[in-house]
Amino acid sequence: MSSRTKVWFSENGALVALVVLAVALSLLSSDFLSVSNLLNVGVQAAVTAILAFGATFVIITAGIDLSVGSVAALSAITLAYLSTTSGLPWPLATVIALAVGVVCGLANAALIAYGKLPPFIATLAMLGIARGLALVISQGSPIAMPDAVSHVGDTIGGYLPIPVIVMVVMGLIAAVILNRTYPGRAMYAIGGNEEAARLSGIKVNRQKLVTYALSGGFAAVAGIVLASRLASAQPQAAAGYELDAIAAVVIGGASLSGGKGRAFGTFVGALILAVLRNGLNLLSVSAFWQQVVIGVVIALAVLVDTLRRRSSN
Amino acid sequence: MSEEILRVEGLRKRFPGVLALDGVDLSLRTGEVHVLLGENGAGKSTLIKMLSGAYHPDEGRILLDGQPVEVRTAGDAQRLGIATIYQEFNLVPELTVGENLALGRPPRRFGFIDVKAMHRQARELLDRVGLDLDPRRRIGTLGIARMQMVEIAKALALNARVLIMDEPTAVLTTSEVDKLFSIVRQLRDEGVAIVFITHHLEEIAQIGDRVTVLRDGRSVAEVPANTAEDELVRLMVGRPIDQQYPREPEQPGRALLKVSGLGRRGAFDDVSFEVRAGEVVGLAGLVGAGRTEVARAIFGADRYDTGEVTVDGRPLPAGDIHAAMAAGLGLVPEDRKGQGLVLGADIAENLGLVTLGDASHGGFVDRSGQRKAAAKVAGQLGVRMSGLGQEVRTLSGGNQQKVVIGKWLLADVSVLILDEPTRGIDVGAKVEIYQLINSLTASGHAVLMISSDLPEVIGMSDRVLVMARGRLVGELPAGEATQDTVMALAVTEVEGTRVQ
Ligand SMILES: Nc1ncnc2c1ncn2[C@@H]1O[C@H](COP(=O)(O)OP(=O)(O)OP(=O)(O)O)[C@@H](O)[C@H]1O
Ligand SMILES: [Mg+2]
């Protein structure tokens, strides 16, 4: 192998793994490669991927956001409650729902940047607070989503699912933010060496606000997509999804110690998780064993990545 | 003549994009100080990392006492009696001095760490290097010079037969260098073989016995340490250097930076001076005199309790880096690994860090413009790299330093504060940096330079300020600043005490 192909392979390990996985599954199950199944995989991946794009920002800054699942639920509940129960016009309700996500993110960041709480603790608190608020507002029961918004869960022309489109758009937005904008580049610097970033004139606290606000905003979008698919907002929706999101980011090649990560990698990471679940379903592996397999895959992905990094020295 | 203890034959090492070592031979005898000399990126650190088990050679042999040995891990090196002080520190900032000194083999009692014994051993080691420090102090609170002395103490604890020191004097002032040299001489007389890397040529004759010169990954000469400096430079760079300190003084203009009565409890007190357009003002003093603290306070990186900083007549708010930068201040910090670089990011990214805001329009960064600017400054500074996309972590120490300076050269600053700017930079590249300082002052900018390298402060400054124990104790115009006059001021006992 030439050294350029070697570099490509080592930077796109997750993509290679995804292709290998897909080929293996298409050999094992004739249903896997059907268009309808693949689109189904896309829909399954969408919510995780959107959450994970938001988590990518945070993880690049060497932070962590455990609250995204709860924030997703809170945003969806807010939307459903405001439009269905309170009768607000749906566009306004949607804007408020997105704002709720952003505000949750800002609250996280304020605790982290100004309160000097470790991100793990601040967002763990928000995980409880947002979930609790979702339960309080909904009084514990699902609320129907307004019809107009529920179309987000539909398909275009009967086959192209809108959640997949939303996922791709959010992925592109994340990629542009990370690669082309000031906050994106600042995230890499802060995660790589916060003190060097500060001494280079980057307003670290302000950029953390932006980072967690983005994570909250992305979580709100994910929550709305999820609720639209189910046609109702559920206070317990997306529980535990934060872990899938973090797993997708890490499988995609980001480092929890910060400074590394790409939107495309995260996208591939989310697809790997979805393909794996789908394949295990097709092969009728029990849901209990699926958890084991997915745990092993996460460990393997990170292990392979660390070994690769070490051997490149 | 003493016997050969370590021999290196035909060592080669390739990294992605560079052939770092291309056939290196080295012969080391017991009881000698063997200097490794070479430009930044010549392969000195790579060579010693293969002796310490950090890297493994692609080709070639290492012989110890005439027997070929494999040094695969740091543990192997320790068993073979090889101890290494790396160019970049390997201390854990969150742990205390005592804990760092005992790392990996703390004294135990009933299975628990024996803290008392640990601190006693730490004190003995610190005494040996002449460092008056509380072993309970956290490493992260020390400046880099003290960290360097702790590293040296740590290596002494291993009682090695071969001691390798990668640029131990880069951050030390004269008095610590003297202390270090007396330790080195003592070890040498006890029969320890010492490999010593330095970019300070005058140290070679003082401490060395023989010199091996590396150029582009090859060992090109082995000469006695009393070889003339000019000849050493020629061997190392391939051409002579006419003038080591090419300062071209300008007519000073208006005061750009004015510091009045600056003080912070326990660090520095009543510091007042000004730096005028076109001037290079040197700030000399012993380690711990408070030079770095003052620089950081001026730049807004730390707070201060009393006094005022004005730039071009406008007062700066305390502790606000952004305001300082907006007013035209810049700071090249002393600790490149901890404060200067994002090690995991590439060269272009690091060079563009300070100008990230200027290169952004409506939130979007002009990355191709940034790359062009980075390419230009990397060329000016002669950064030896495989490309702008190379991770800064894998650059040689001196080339990393060039990147830290480079990112500030790209910014449009009116007063640049340089804290140990040429730390670890080779003689040729130093002259390039001095030329850049000249062109800064020629275009009306001002430079405040902190340096522990006395010939450098004296050779490049138009005025030298001297600090001792947190206070300014004197000022010398260029004509009167000599090593003796500066040192005499630097050891002044200041009335009133200052917290260590
Ligand atoms: N891990 C690595 N990956 C890629 N290149 C590397 C790595 N380590 C060193 N290099 C390259 O090998 C060359 C030699 O580096 P080395 O650190 O040995 O230089 P040096 O002589 O110690 O220089 P200095 O005086 O600046 O410390 C440099 O071009 C450097 O970029
Ligand atoms: Mg080196």
Residue B102's pLDDT is 85
How many Cβ atoms from other residues are within 10 Å of residue A20's Cβ? 10
Which range scores top for mean pLDDT: A75-89, B166-180, B419-433? A75-89
Mutate to test the pocket of ligand 1, among B8, B13, B15 (most ligand atoms within 8 A of CB): B15
Residue range A166-207, pLDDT digits in tens: 999 999 999 999 999 999 999 999 999 999 999 999 999 999
Residue B109: other Cβ atoms inside 10 A: 10
Nearest C-alpha of chain B: how many angstroms from A177?
8
Which residue in A has a C-alpha nearest to residue B392's C-alpha? Answer: A192
Task: Give one word for B215, left, alpha or beta, with left for phi > 0 and alpha for psi -120 to 50.
Answer: beta
Q: What does each C-alpha distance from A141 to A47, A68, A134, A233, B86 come to in angstroms?
A: 21, 20, 10, 9, 62
Please give the average per-residue pLDDT across B343-350, as a whole number. 95
Cα gap B297→B265, rounded to integer Å: 12
pLDDT of residue B137: 92
Give this prediction's pTM. 0.89
Question: In this predicted structure, what is the pLDDT of residue A297?
Answer: 86
Interface list for B 294-323 with A (CB within 8 A): 299, 301, 321-322
Q: Which residues of B touch A200 (CB under 8 A)?
A: 353-354, 356, 407
pLDDT for residue B494 is more than 80: no
Domain segments of chain B: what residues? 4-237, 256-490
Percent of chain A predicted with pLDDT > 70: 96
Residues B380-394: tens digit of each pLDDT? 888 999 999 999 999
Q: B74: how many CB neighbours lie within 10 A of its CB?
A: 16
Please tell me the predicted confidence (pLDDT) of residue B411: 92
Measured distance CA(B239)–CA(A179) in Å, rounded: 43
% residues pLDDT > 90 (chain B):
70
Residue A9 predicted with pLDDT over 80: no
Q: What are the tokens at B125?
A: 């080691």
CATH number belonging to domain A32-307: 1.10.3470
**A–B: how many Cβ contacts below 8 A?**
80
Supply φ then ψ for residue A167, to 5 degrees: -60, -45
Tokens representing residue A228 in the block? 């639209």
Indicate if the pLDDT at residue A6 is higher than 90.
no
Average pLDDT on B178-183 reads 90
Q: What confidence score (pLDDT) does residue A2 get?
A: 62
pLDDT at A1 over 70: no
Pick the residue from chain B with its C-alpha nearest to A255.
B344
Per-residue model confidence (pLDDT) at position A309: 65
Fold of B4-237: Rossmann fold (3.40.50)
Which pLDDT band, with edges at 50, 70 and 90, does B499 fall under? very low
Arithmetic mean of pLDDT, B320-331? 95
CA dist., res. A174 & res. A248, Å (int): 15
- A contacts of B407 (beta carbons < 8 Å): 200
Strands B218-224 vs B210-215: parallel, antiparallel or unpaired: antiparallel
Ligand 1 touching residue B212 (CB < 6 A): no
Q: Which of B297, B288, B340 is nearest to B148 (CA)?
A: B288
Residue numbers in B near A210 (CB within 8 A): none
pLDDT of residue A312: 54
- Pairwise CA distance, residues A224 & A75, whole Å: 7
Give yes or no for residue B64 having a pLDDT over 50.
yes
Alpha-helix residue ranges (DSSP H) falling in chain A: 3-11, 13-28, 35-60, 68-80, 90-113, 119-138, 147-150, 162-180, 182-192, 194-199, 204-230, 241-251, 263-282, 287-311
Task: Using pLDDT thresholds of 50, 70 and 90, give the confidence band for residue B103.
Answer: confident
The pLDDT > 90 percentage for chain A reads 78
Q: How far is CA B90 from CA A218, B85, B100, B140, B147, in A?
A: 40, 9, 9, 12, 10
Going by pLDDT thresholds of 50, 70 and 90, the confidence category of residue B146 is confident
Q: Is B192's pLDDT higher than 80? A: yes
Residue A311 pLDDT grade (very low, low, confident, very high; cuts 50, 70, 90) = low
What's the maximum distance between 2 C-alpha atoms anywhere in chain A? 63
pLDDT(B438) > 90: yes
User: Is residue B330 scored above 80 in pLDDT?
Assistant: yes
Distance of residue A200 Cα from the nearest chain B Cα, in angstroms = 5
What residues of B are in contact with residue A192 (Cβ under 8 Å)? 342-345
Nearest-Cα distance to chain B for A169, in Å, is: 18
Task: With H, G, I as helix, E, B as strand and everything else as coil, classify residue B283.
Answer: strand
pLDDT band at B441 (very low <50, low <70, confident <90, very high): very high
Tokens matching residue A84: 């269905």
Task: Round to whole Å and give the CA distance between B489 and B472.
Answer: 10
**Ligand 2 midpoint to CA B239 (Å):** 21
Q: Is the pLDDT of residue B224 over 90?
A: yes
Determine the Cα–Cα distance for residues A251 and B45; give it in Å rounded to an integer. Answer: 34
Of B265, B8, B387, which Cα lies nearest the Cα of A3? Answer: B387
Query: By C-alpha distance, which of B151, B498, B141, B108 is closest to B302?
Result: B141
Burial (CB < 10 A; 0-12, 13-18, 19+), residue B478, is middle
Mean pLDDT of the B168-194 span:
89
Q: Which residues contact B410 (CB under 8 A, 6 or more apart)?
A: B351, B352, B354, B355, B373, B374, B377
Instruction: Note the pLDDT of residue B113.
Output: 78
Averaged pLDDT for residues A122-135:
97
CB distance B338–A192 less than 8 Å?
no
Interface test with A, best of B320, B365, B394 (most A CBs within 10 A): B365
Q: What's the CA-to-centroid distance between B394 and ligand 1, angstroms? A: 6
Return d(Cα B410, Cα B369) in angstroms, integer: 12
User: Is the per-residue pLDDT at A310 higher than 70?
Assistant: no
Q: Which residues surround ligand 2, an ion (CB under 5 A)?
A: B 45, 87, 396-397
Q: Around Cβ B48, how many Cβ atoms within 10 Å?
A: 23
Least confident of A143-147, A210-214, B174-178: B174-178
- ipTM for the predicted complex comes to 0.87
Q: What is the pLDDT of residues A262-306, one digit of tens each?
A: 999 999 999 999 999 999 999 999 989 998 998 898 888 778 777
Query: Band of the pLDDT at B497, cuts 50, 70, 90?
Result: very low
CB B397 near ligand 1, within 6 Å: yes
CATH 3.40.109.10, domain B256-490, yes or no: no
Tokens found for residue A193: 């060496």
> Distance between CA atoms of B117 and B130, rounded to whole angstroms?
20
